[in-house]
Amino acid sequence: MDLVPQSTEVEASMDFDTVLGETKVLDILAQLDKELVGLVPVKTRIREIAALLLVDKMRRQLELSSQTPSLHMSFTGNPGTGKTTVAMRMAEILHRLGYVRKGHMVAVTRDDLVGQYIGHTAPKTKEVLKRAMGGVLFIDEAYYLYREENERDYGQETIEILLQVMENQRDDLVVILAGYKDRMDRFFKSNPGMRSRIAHHIDFPDYSADELLLIAELMLAEQHYRLSPDARTAFRSYLEKRMQMPNFANARSIRNALDRARLRQANRLFAKGGRVQKDDLITIEAEDILASRVFSQGVPDQG
């Protein structure tokens, strides 16, 4: 009777929980959940990317052939939807998993990259890239780098430098381009080389009124304020009106609205005078909300 030879080699293995604990990636994802209300599709995509990178890290540690995945990203959506915050946390995840050396984020716009005269753009762009190396370069409103109507615009020089660095130094720098979705789509159509280097396209949806109300209450709580029940109702009405007006910027507009409400509360208490209770100092009342020009004139307040 033939005997089947038994392998004496012990199969290499790793424990997911151990690796997760060492990298603390779950802590960063939990922090992201705490920082940002809603955005379930975005958070799901970030978790998927983190899972991909974790598996790739484990494959490399077990000496399995693995090509470093492309990590450059595009974040699209309206202002105030959390793109910058997510980019910061993405930089931390990349650092924890060993894909960037430092884990910092450098946030820039066209003005930081593009010069105003011949010979100015290249050193300006390279200086920004030098600061960002080992981390994430976040370029907001990236479509302004390309001005189709001006063939001699210096932004094209910045794009060419970025393309070269994104390809040749992708092990030391991750670039995240951000902006409105329609404008980013046109930017990529005009710059196919840039599109080919972007591996992950993540769209950030607008917040709902209920989510914005929760965001407002969290913002106020951080500063030891709160909405009275009537003020909460008034602010919900404010949201429904303000969301239909021009230049609404989601959480950014909410922060501005709360700053003005706090200003009105302070002036109301100042005009009243006399003794005040702690509750008076921390409570935003309905009148502080209803005094907004959104209700009286149907236009956004000025900051």
- Categorize the per-residue pLDDT at 199 as very low, low, confident or very high, splitting at 50, 70 and 90: very high
Report the CATH number that the domain containing residue 250 is assigned in CATH. Answer: 1.10.8.60
Angle at 44 between CA 38 and CA 48, to 5 degrees: 160
Contact 234, 289 (CB under 8 A): yes
CA terminus-to-terminus distance, the chain: 89
Cβ burial, residue 225 (10 Å; 0-12/13-18/19+): middle
How far is 254 from 275, CA to CA, in rounded Å? 30
191 in the same domain as 225: no
* pLDDT greater than 90 at residue 152: no
122 in the same domain as 146: yes
- Residue range(s) defining the domain that contains residue 163: 16-204
- Categorize the per-residue pLDDT at 47 as very low, low, confident or very high, splitting at 50, 70 and 90: very high
Contact 20, 26 (CB under 8 A): yes
DSSP-assigned beta bridge partners for residue 174: 136
92 in the same domain as 190: yes
CA distances to 81, 83, 149, 225, 253 from 212, in Å:
10, 16, 38, 16, 10
Contact 169, 140 (CB under 8 A): no
Q: From the centroid of its chain, how far is CA 92?
A: 13
Contact 85, 215 (CB under 8 A): no
231 in the same domain as 113: no
Task: Give the residue-averaged pLDDT of 19-23.
Answer: 82
Total domains in the fold of the chain = 2
In a domain, 243, yes or no: yes
- Categorize the per-residue pLDDT at 7 as very low, low, confident or very high, splitting at 50, 70 and 90: very low
Q: What is the pLDDT of residue 302?
A: 64
In a domain, 2, yes or no: no
Q: What is the pLDDT of residue 3?
A: 52
Q: What is the pLDDT of residue 66?
A: 66
* pLDDT greater than 80 at residue 2: no
**Sign, Cα dihedral of 257, 87, 160, 183:** negative
- Categorize the per-residue pLDDT at 109 as very low, low, confident or very high, splitting at 50, 70 and 90: very high
Q: What is the pLDDT of residue 216?
A: 97
CA distances to 64, 174, 202 from 170, in Å:
21, 6, 19
Domain boundary pick from 182, 204, 226:
204
213 in the same domain as 182: no
Domain boundary pick from 188, 204, 220:
204
Report the CATH number that the domain containing residue 129 is assigned in CATH. Answer: 3.40.50.300
280 in the same domain as 214: yes
66-75, 140-149, 212-221, 293-302: least confident range: 293-302
Residue type, position 13, single letter: S
Contact 140, 172 (CB under 8 A): no
225 in the same domain as 190: no
In a domain, 133, yes or no: yes
Q: From the centroid of its chain, how far is CA 203?
A: 11
**For the segment 159-178, what is each residue's pLDDT rounded down to a tens digit?**
999 999 999 998 899 999 99
176 in the same domain as 94: yes
The token pair that represents 25 in the structure block:
């990636």
- Categorize the per-residue pLDDT at 151 as very low, low, confident or very high, splitting at 50, 70 and 90: low
Task: Give the residue-averaged pLDDT of 213-238.
Answer: 97
How far is 188 from 264, CA to CA, in rounded Å? 45
Q: What is the pLDDT of residue 268?
A: 96
How far is 264 from 220, CA to CA, in rounded Å? 15
* pLDDT greater than 90 at residue 287: yes
Task: Give kind and range of the element (H or E) at residue 240.
Answer: helix 229-242
Q: Which of 12-21, 56-65, 180-189 has the highest mean pLDDT?
A: 180-189
- Categorize the per-residue pLDDT at 11 as very low, low, confident or very high, splitting at 50, 70 and 90: low
Q: What is the pLDDT of residue 12?
A: 73
Task: Give the residue-averaged pLDDT of 8-18.
Answer: 67
**For the segment 64-106, what is each residue's pLDDT rounded down to a tens digit?**
866 778 899 999 999 999 999 999 999 999 999 989 999 999 9
